Amino acid sequence: MFFARALTRGASPVDVTTDRAPVYPRVIDALIPAARHVLEQYANNRVEADHARLKARLRPMRGLKTIRSLRTIAAGHAFVQNLRRGHYELTADVPAHDRVRLAFTELTLCL
């Protein structure tokens, strides 16, 4: 269900990384016959590690109590991660280690 909905929202993937559950090959062949099914043990570490900073932030807070606080924390976290990666014009031409500092300096001038 989730996989089928995700496919309707964007381009078809070239590779699909899953664990070794026996149902996956049939589902992937039915929905995306051209995709390569990747079963390597650590192939999705990059995706899993992406939210490690968010998890590290949430542990001391003992989780989130409301949906509103979840939305606020997730949006702020995504914003800072995208600043670090240079996805915004504001920090695209700045060295990676200076992006967040310079972005917040610029943003404080707007307030």
DSSP 86: T
The per-residue pLDDT for 47 is 65
* pLDDT at 90 (0 to 100): 79
* Cα–Cα–Cα angle for 53, 59, 65, rounded to 5 degrees: 110
Q: What is the pLDDT of residue 12?
A: 81
Quote the DSSP letter at residue 13. Answer: P
Q: What pLDDT is stored for residue 48 in this prediction?
A: 66
9-60 pLDDT, tens digit each: 777 888 888 888 899 899 889 988 988 888 887 777 766 666 777 777 777 7
Return left, alpha or beta for 17; rule: phi > 0 is left, psi -120 to 50 is alpha, else beta. beta
Of 15-19, 46-50, 62-66, 82-86, least confident by mean pLDDT is 46-50
Task: Give the pLDDT of residue 10.
Answer: 75
- Residue 99: count other Cβ atoms within 10 Å of its Cβ: 22
Q: How far apart are CA 48 and CA 18, in angstroms?
A: 12
The closest alpha carbon to 97, from 110, 86, 109, belongs to 86
Q: How many CB atoms lie within 10 A of CB 84?
A: 15
* Contact between residue 32 and residue 13 where contact means Cβ atoms under 8 Å apart: yes
